[in-house]
Amino acid sequence: MDKILRVDMADLSTRIEAVPAEWAGLGGRGLTSTIVAAEVPPTCHPLGPSNKLVFAPGLLTGTPAANSGRLSAGAKSPLTGTIKESNAGGTSAQMLARLGIKALIIEGAPTTDAWYSLHVSMDGVAIREETELIGKGNFAVIEAVESRLGKKTGVLTIGPAGELKMTAANISVKDPDSKIRSHGRGGLGAVMGSKRIKFISIDDEGAPKVPIADPEKFKTAARAFAKALLDHPISGEGLPTYGTNVLVNILNEAGGLPTRNFTIGQFEGHDKISGETMHDTIVARGGKHKHGCHAGCIIQCSQVYHDKEGKYVTSGFEYETIWGLGADCCVDNLDDIAVADNLMDDIGIDSIETAVMFGVAMEAGILPFGDGKGIIRLLKDEIGKGTPLGRILGGGAASVGKAYGVTRVPVVKNQGIPAYDPRSVKGIGITYATSTMGADHTAGYTIATNILNVGGFVDPLKKDGQVELSRNLQIATAAVDSTGMCIFVAFPALDIPECLPALIDMINARFGINLTGDDVTNLGKQILKTERQFNIEAGFTKEHDRLPEFFKTEPVAPHNAVWDFTDAEIDEFWNF
């Protein structure tokens, strides 16, 4: 990838630049965080003209490496005020990589009321005015762009939530079935909306294959890597059969399934929303229990969920979404949750933030716990239409908590806490507290070792070993996030000794370089330190690396666990 595309939305100009030497070895999150840290004033208003929205494929994206088609998107987050990177599957990453685009940097903001789209092709990037699709949902945008520009066009789009700059707004990516994957967390959709870009279309017609310096070495490494993915029981069998939603019953049994706005660790209705039930329902109704979010994915953790009549309802039906609208909101109707999932895709709003938000909204009395139809109604009629209530709801969990005087608001750095209770899964609590991006479970997924016995075992109910576990995983994840790899390659990487060396061999063969395992670890450390430095300059201190008060004082059943780390113990995390 040999060029940087810059788009200035203030004067509506575009530039094609060579890649500076210091960015040559970076990709994905490593590149977006480096660019944001270098070019965005940390104290800027995230919706103002000084923020930048950066898209970057990973170091291996566009190659034949399995599971390498992820795209990173980065900016200063309007939700957390910290630096942010979010990666997603879909069809855009590989197209950008083949076009030779190492990064697409969008800066400035228009001063008029006009809306725009960007078109990326072999000729660079063009800015076009857009009127017809403003106000439309993401599915309509994808359909219209395909009809205008061809079925194979890549699409990145924001829904009404992003146009209205709601802080829970996401950026949607067209997937191989013309459905949607998401750059979900951190409100990046609002940043794109603040730059008045409704969608980005990508045409890779004429783009050559991604060049590989040592094709033979690459092929050998790619084969070993793919074998490890298929050999590991999680990536090779568990995920394609049950999807991530298999976790409902696991967390429920372990007492770490946050229920009724994080008041209990188990949900009575767990069986009705479990991965096992979802699998059987999908099969009975003619959907797909395995499905890939990008070409070259061999894990296939996604699925296609149909209604009773056999019609498409949603795809990419994730554990976090089902946990959140299910256990956390006490809804035990999987069909209602599926309809809500599809609505969130269309409106363009983060399904994790929105689910945690609804738990707080129910505690606030806006609707009763268990009211699945009420969730659907509020999504359609309030958030989707941008009413004043909709804007409060679309601001996320903390926004609703503040507006309604709720104290039990599960957020860190203003971002909603996902589907694992930190009191009974203590490792993930350290990740929530210390991640540079707010409460983020994928940043350092200790669930693997706390719950799933992957990479060893660290008891989730004890403090011992959690800080070290979270630190090692956060460092490794920052590096993996730079390669374009799906994070689920971490399961085989933690257990199968051939896996990580094969990944490093592929990077070396791609670029003709000689990275070692230590180099990869150092890359991860460097990325975390760069991100942390941005946050410090943005005004964050160690006092922000904390969980909400109620986790310390309210024990969670069945294990009656509390969050009992001292501040000093948490702050140990950054000793590297």
Chain residues binding another protein by CB under 8 A are: 232-234, 237-239, 241-247, 249-250, 253-255, 275-276, 301, 318-320, 445, 447-448, 451-454, 457, 459-461, 488, 491, 558-559
- Shortest gap between Cβ of 490 and another protein (angstroms)? 8
Tell me how far apart the alpha carbons of residues 160 and 30 are, in angstroms, rounded to a whole number.
30
| CB-nearer residue toward another protein: 104 or 443 | 443
| CB-nearer residue toward another protein: 141 or 248 | 248
- Shortest gap between Cβ of 297 and another protein (angstroms)? 14
Contact call for residues 214 and 189 (beta carbons, < 8 A): no
- Shortest gap between Cβ of 514 and another protein (angstroms)? 31
Q: Name which of 4, 31, 27 is nearest 15 in CA terms.
A: 4
Tell me how far apart the alpha carbons of residues 527 and 479 are, in angstroms, rounded to a whole number.
8
| CB-nearer residue toward another protein: 341 or 505 | 341
- Shortest gap between Cβ of 255 and another protein (angstroms)? 5
Q: Which long-range contacts (CB under 8 A, 24 or more apart) does 236-241 make?
A: 236/299, 239/299, 239/300, 239/301, 239/488, 240/289, 240/290, 240/299, 240/300, 240/301, 241/279, 241/289, 241/290
Cβ contacts of 428 within 8 Å, gap of 6 or more: 420, 422, 441, 445, 446, 447, 450, 470
Contact call for residues 553 and 454 (beta carbons, < 8 A): no
Cβ contacts of 527 within 8 Å, gap of 6 or more: 29, 30, 33, 34, 478, 479, 481, 482
- Shortest gap between Cβ of 276 and another protein (angstroms)? 6
Cβ contacts of 345 within 8 Å, gap of 6 or more: 138, 139, 172, 179, 180, 182, 314, 316
- Shortest gap between Cβ of 270 and another protein (angstroms)? 11
| CB-nearer residue toward another protein: 305 or 488 | 488
- Shortest gap between Cβ of 418 and another protein (angstroms)? 9
- Shortest gap between Cβ of 59 and another protein (angstroms)? 23
| CB-nearer residue toward another protein: 43 or 560 | 560
What ranges in 71-130 are assigned the alpha helix state H?
92-98
- Shortest gap between Cβ of 453 and another protein (angstroms)? 6
| CB-nearer residue toward another protein: 198 or 232 | 232
| CB-nearer residue toward another protein: 201 or 274 | 274
| CB-nearer residue toward another protein: 318 or 346 | 318
Tell me how far apart the alpha carbons of residues 485 and 37 are, in angstroms, rounded to a whole number.
23
- Shortest gap between Cβ of 516 and another protein (angstroms)? 27
| CB-nearer residue toward another protein: 56 or 254 | 254
- Cα distances (angstroms) measured from residue 501 to each of 102, 104, 188, 266: 24, 30, 33, 39
* DSSP percent split of the chain into helix, strand, coil, nearest 5: 45, 15, 40
| CB-nearer residue toward another protein: 117 or 249 | 249
Q: What is the DSSP letter of 50?
A: T
- Shortest gap between Cβ of 320 and another protein (angstroms)? 7
Contact call for residues 326 and 269 (beta carbons, < 8 A): yes
Tell me how far apart the alpha carbons of residues 488 and 70 are, in angstroms, rounded to a whole number.
12
| CB-nearer residue toward another protein: 316 or 395 | 316
- Cα distances (angstroms) measured from residue 228 to each of 31, 69, 299, 343: 27, 18, 11, 36
- Cα distances (angstroms) measured from residue 293 to each of 84, 240, 305, 481, 537: 22, 12, 14, 16, 36
